[in-house]
Amino acid sequence: MLEKLLVEDYAAEGKSLAKVDGKVIFIERVVPGDVVDVRLQKNKKDWAEGMPVHFHSYSADRVEPFCSHFGVCGGCQWQMLPYEKQLEYKHRQVEETLKRIGKVALPPFQPILGAAETKYYRNKIEYTFGNKRFLLKEELADESINGEQNVAGFHAKGLFDKVVDIETCYLQAEPTNEIRLAVKAFAKENNWSFYDIRNHVGFLRTMQVRLCTTGELMINIVVGENDEQKIKELMDYVAKQFPAITTLLYTVNTKWNDSMFDLEPVVYYGKGYAVEKLSAGPGGEEFQFKIGPKSFFQTNSKQAERLYQVTREFAELTGNEVVYDLYCGTGSIGIFVSGKAKKIVGVEMIAAAIEDARENAALNNLSSAEFFAGDVIDICNDDFFSAHGKPDVIITDPPRAGMHEKLVNKILEIAAPTVVYVSCNPATQARDLNVLDEKYEVTKVQPVDMFPHTHHIENVVQLKLKNR
Question: ∠ CA 108-110-112 to the nearest 5 degrees?
Answer: 135
How far is the C-alpha of 361 from the C-alpha of 159, rounded, in Å? Answer: 41
Which H or E element spans position 219?
A: strand 217-223
Residue (of 217, 247, 222) closest to 234 by Cα position: 222
Residue 445 burial (C-beta neighbours within 10 Å; 0-12, 13-18, 19+): buried
For residues 357 and 328, the answer to whether their CB atoms sit within 8 Å is yes
- 3-state helix/strand/coil string of 42-85: EECCCEEEEEEEEEEECCCCCCCCCCCCCCCCCCCCCCCCCHHH
Helices 83-97 and 426-436: crossing angle, nearest 10°? 30
How far is the C-alpha of 18 from the C-alpha of 30, rounded, in Å? Answer: 10
Three-state DSSP state, 216: coil
- Annotated active-site residue 424? The verdict is yes
- The radius of gyration computed from the CA coordinates of the chain, to the nearest angstrom, equals 24
Q: Say which amino acid occupies 251.
A: T
For residues 408 and 436, the answer to whether their CB atoms sit within 8 Å is yes
Which H or E element spans position 28?
A: none
Q: Which of 73, 169, 380, 424 is catalytic?
A: 424
Q: Say which amino acid occupies 231.
A: I
- Long-range CB pairs of 59-68, under 8 A, 24+ apart, other chains included: 59/7, 59/31, 59/32, 59/33, 59/34, 60/33, 61/31, 61/32, 61/33, 61/85, 62/31, 62/33, 62/34, 66/119, 66/170, 67/168, 67/169, 67/170, 68/167, 68/168
437: left (phi over 0), alpha (psi -120 to 50) or beta: alpha
Q: How far is CA 259 from the centre of its chain?
A: 16
In sequence order, the β-bridge partners of residue 343 are 322
Residue 174 burial (C-beta neighbours within 10 Å; 0-12, 13-18, 19+): exposed
Active site residues: 424
